[in-house]
Every structure is written in C-alpha cells, then in structure tokens.
Amino acid sequence: MPWANLWIGVVIMVEARDVLLRGGRVVTMVDGESERSADILVRAGRIAEIRPGIAAEAADVIDATDMIVAPGFVDTHRHVWQTQLRTVATDWSLLDYLVHMRLVASTFYTADDAYLGNLVGALEALDAGVTTLVDHCHILNTPDHAEEAARGLQDAGIRAIFCFGTYANAPRVPMDVPADPDWRFRAAEGLRRGRLASDSGLVRFGFAPQEAEAITIEDLAREIGFARELGAAAISCHVAMGPYDSGSHCVARMGEAGLMGPDLLFVHGAALTDEELALIRAADAGISATPETELQMGMGFPVAYRAREQGIRTGLGVDIVSNYAGDMFMPMRLGLQATRAARNAELGASGKAPGRISPLAVEALRLATLGGAEAVHMDAEIGSLAVGKRADIVVVATDAIHMTPAHDAVGALVLNARPSDVHAVLVDGRVVKRDCQLVGVDWPALRARFQRSCARIVAGARTVDAGEIEQAARRFWPHLA
Ligand SMILES: [Zn+2]
C-alpha cells in the first residue's frame, strides 16, 4: 500500500506541475492585440499569466526563445478515419470520392481500423499543432466502430468533438451489424451515456446526420431533434456544395422547417446564398470552410471570408486526410490566396488593379484558431491566449532555413511555416509535443500496426468492381460532366 500511495502521489504531482513557456513571441489572437514578447505560465490546465519575466522555479520550462507562441489550431471539419487512405484521393472528383471512399473503401473498415485511423489521425493533428478537431465520423459500420473511433481520439490526448455519423455504411467484410434498422440511434445513445457522457471531458459528443441534401427534411428533422435530445455539442452537416447540391438550398429549407440553431455547423457551404448566410447568422450557427476540397472538387469558392465578413462564426477544416496532409497551414494559405486571387480578378474585370490586398493574413490565422473555436461555441475556453483560458498552445520554431528571418510572426505562421516547425504543443495544459517529438508515442511500433491496417483496407477495396456503383451515383447527379 505505501508504494501504491507513493505512486498516486507522484502521478498527481506530475499532472499538477506548472508549465512555463519562456521568452516567446506571443501572438494571442485576442482581437486588437499584436505580437509581443512574453512568458506564459500554465497552471492546472489553464493560462495563469502572460507577461515578461515570470519567475516559476518549480515549473516545467519550455524555452521559446526565437519561437512563435500561438493558440493551438482548431480544425472544424475532418473525417479522421480516412488516415489509412492518405493519397488515394489525389485526383478525385466528388463523384470519385462518393464511389471509391464512401461506398467502397469504408466498407472494409473494422472497428480496430476505426480506432487506428482516429488515433493516428489525431496524433498527426497534434504533431502539426492542431489541438482541437471536429471529427465528422461516418465510418460507423457497427456500434463498436463508434466506441473505437472515439477511444482513438481519447487515447491521442487531443481536444475534440466526436460527431457520431448516422450514414448507413454497408460493410463487405463479416461484422456484427445489429438487425434493428435504428441501431445507429441506439449506439449513439450508448456512446453518449457511456464513453462520452461528460461535457467537460477533452472529447465531447457531437452528431453528424446523414447527407442533409440527400434525405427528406422530415428525416433530417428527426436526426437533428435526436441529436439535440442527446445534447450534442455540435451537429455537423455538409451543405451547399455548388453544382452538386442541384439548387436544393438545404439551409433555406431548414430555416422554413424551424430546424436552425446555434449547435449547427455547416460544412463547405460555397453555394450558400446571402439569405442563407443571414439565416445562419441569425441562428448563431457556425460554418466550416475546407478550401482544398472545395477548390479541387468543384464545390464552388470557399465561403470563409464572405461568411466571416457577415459576422458568422467561421472556421477552417482539413476535411479529408485521404487527400491532403492534416495540418492547418495549407488550408490557411490556400484559402487566403485563393480569396485574394478572386478579389483581384474581380477588380481586374472592371479594369482596375488592387492598390491594397484583401483579406489580410491575420484573418486567415483567426479563422484557423479563434474563428474555429467560435464556430463550435468553444471560444470562451479556447482559440486565443488569454488568462483563464484552457492552455491549448502551439510553439513554432523560426530557426529553419525557410523561416529565417521571421520579421512578422503572423506572416511566418500563415505563409511560411510547416508542421516540421512545430516545436511544442500543449493541450489543456499537458505537453503533448516537445523538442519536435510527440510525447509518449512509439511511432515505429504504431506505424507497423497502422500499415497493416492500411494495406488490408486498400487490398479489400481493390477487389470491388466499382462500375455499377458509379452508374448508380451518376443517376443521383445526372448533370455530371
Ligand atoms: Zn466532409
């Protein structure tokens, strides 16, 4: 017993130890504040002080000299389960994605695959300084998949909203699929009452209805009502995907049906009308733009800046790691430069040249941090560096050849930095990455297990002749080129 008590005492002491980020260039993302030199003291998971010259002898010190200290990135939309399928979607349209990802590859995922995809995907996010993920999880082939996918996020130590997806995958390998056609709702209830019962834990319960534009408004109302009964922290819906939505104006119909609410998170949304944006604004709901997907797949132009400028809670997302890397540097950069290009082209069309550039890089950084937190109503706790907030922090080195010199910290983060520059990461005050290494992760061992899962899923998908599936999908979108 004395040994057990000693061990418990050691654990408590380690967990409670203060962390001091010393001498960094702090970018708080508090509106109106600019970069400044300061230390940050983290105590019991929260930011306790931000000022130069903090003396904290007993603290775990991270030397942030010549480094940029910023809020951890908030990714408001990712299908984390697709981590095993990195690079398969390189040249895909949304049709290809529907056929080969949603209707083929997903059907080979076991519950263990769902765990590994979410564990490795969340670790990839942390490695890149993403401290919060909204996981739109539509790989739930059985109830065990939900448990395991959520456990993967929890084991990684990331902050997340796990959005339980009700999309009806039909597995092609033997699995224990319940006979009850409503089993997904029962499984969601079980997850909510069990693993994700807490609203103050790092991983919270959220919901992702079936494709909102592909079901009736009555079915969508049933799903959203169910999510609200369970107290979902966010309800993630793909909407307004340009030519793919066939002018259905889903958000307008949701408004007419009385479904709008602050818990809704609308994803993509490039084709949202001004009236629909006004509905979202009035409901205090959020938007997640995923520039890489929208630009590649012909969904229209990323809505992020248009939404933000109308006062809507707006963040960015990576979306599919089957196609792009899981960091927020590229969505920031691509969304910003594409928006600048469009605005410049608009001026050019009227014979004018831009005398000033819009939007500014700081707006991109805001979307990727505080804006993301706002989009899911977590901005009281995370998204900026302020005394009292939870300590979700990224420390970015500037000594690499591509970061030297870094005269402007915001410019360095938005237009120059890479995941390899991420020196340290804190989630809820816990150091999950330091000295450019994830803490407590044996990547070679995990990689070997992960690669076996990757190979098996891809081998399974290759056995399927997708011709008929594509023909059926084409009937759903008769106007495809
Ligand atoms: Zn998505």
Residue 290 Cα to ligand 1 middle (Å): 8
Paired strand residues for 183: none
pLDDT truncated to tens, each residue of the chain (481 aa)?
Answer: 344 444 444 444 445 699 999 999 999 999 999 999 999 999 999 999 999 999 988 999 999 999 999 999 999 999 999 999 999 999 999 999 999 999 999 999 999 999 999 999 999 999 999 999 999 999 999 999 999 999 999 999 999 999 999 998 889 999 999 999 899 999 999 999 999 999 999 999 999 999 888 899 999 999 999 999 999 999 999 999 888 877 789 999 999 999 999 999 999 999 999 999 999 999 999 999 999 999 999 999 999 999 999 999 999 999 999 999 999 999 999 999 999 999 999 999 999 999 999 999 999 999 999 999 999 999 999 999 999 999 999 999 999 999 999 999 999 999 999 999 999 999 999 999 999 999 999 999 999 999 999 999 999 999 999 999 999 888 878 888 8
User: In the predicted model, what is the mean pLDDT of the chain?
Assistant: 94
pLDDT in tens, 292-321: 999 999 999 999 999 999 999 999 999 999
d(CA 166, CA 68): 40
Residue 364 Cα to ligand 1 middle (Å): 20
Residue 404 Cα to ligand 1 middle (Å): 36
Closest alpha carbon to 452 in 78, 113, 159: 113
Residue 79 Cα to ligand 1 middle (Å): 6
Residue 355 Cα to ligand 1 middle (Å): 36
Name the residue type at position 381: E
Residue 37 Cα to ligand 1 middle (Å): 38
Question: Burial, 193: exposed, middle or buried (Cβ in 10 Å; 0-12, 13-18, 19+)?
Answer: exposed
Residue 319 Cα to ligand 1 middle (Å): 5
Q: What torsion, rounded to 10 degrees, do the Cα atoms 366, 370, 374, 379 define?
A: -160
Residue 316 Cα to ligand 1 middle (Å): 12
d(CA 85, CA 354): 41
Residue 223 Cα to ligand 1 middle (Å): 18
d(CA 44, CA 47): 8
Residue 396 Cα to ligand 1 middle (Å): 28
| CB-based contact 156:122 (threshold 8 Å) | yes
Name the residue type at position 128: A
Question: Taken in order 380, 421, 430, 324, is the CA torsion positive or negative?
Answer: positive
d(CA 8, CA 313): 42
d(CA 77, CA 263): 14
Residue 47 Cα to ligand 1 middle (Å): 33
Residue 292 Cα to ligand 1 middle (Å): 11
Residue 234 Cα to ligand 1 middle (Å): 14
Question: Burial, 175: exposed, middle or buried (Cβ in 10 Å; 0-12, 13-18, 19+)?
Answer: middle
Q: Which residues of 54-76 are buried (b: 16+ CB within 10 A; e: fewer)?
A: bebeebeebebeebbbbbbbbbb
Residue 97 Cα to ligand 1 middle (Å): 11
- Token pair for residue 175? 């699995």
Residue 36 Cα to ligand 1 middle (Å): 37
SS3 assignment for the chain: CHHHHHHHHHHHHHHHCCEEEEEEEECCCCCCCCCEEEEEEEECCEEEEEECCCCCCCCEEEECCCEEEEECEEEEEECHHHHHHCCCCCCCCHHHHHHHHHCCHHHHCCHHHHHHHHHHHHHHHHHCCEEEEEEEECCCCCHHHHHHHHHHHHHHCCEEEEEEECCCCCCCCCCCCCCCCCHHHHHHHHHHHCCCCCCCCCEEEEEECCCHHHCCHHHHHHHHHHHHHCCCCCEEEEECCHHHHCCCCHHHHHHHCCCCCCCEEEEECCCCCHHHHHHHHHHCCEEEECHHHHHHCCCCCCCHHHHHHCCCEEEECCECCCCCCCCCHHHHHHHHHHHHHHHHHHHHHCCCCCCCCCCCHHHHHHHHHHHHHHHCCCCCCCCCCCCCCECCEEEEECCCHHHCCCCCHHHHHHHCCCHHHEEEEEECCEEEEECCEECCCCHHHHHHHHHHHHHHHHHHHHCCCCHHHHHHHHHHCCCCC
Spatial neighbors of 469 by CB under 8 A, at least 6 apart, are: 99, 103, 104
Residue 374 Cα to ligand 1 middle (Å): 19
Paired strand residues for 313: 286
d(CA 162, CA 236): 10
Residue 325 Cα to ligand 1 middle (Å): 15
Query: How many residues are present in the chain?
Result: 481
pLDDT in tens, 347-390: 999 999 999 999 999 999 999 999 999 999 999 999 999 999 99
| CB-based contact 170:301 (threshold 8 Å) | no
Residue 331 Cα to ligand 1 middle (Å): 14
Residue 456 Cα to ligand 1 middle (Å): 24
Residue 397 Cα to ligand 1 middle (Å): 31
- Token pair for residue 219? 């079915």
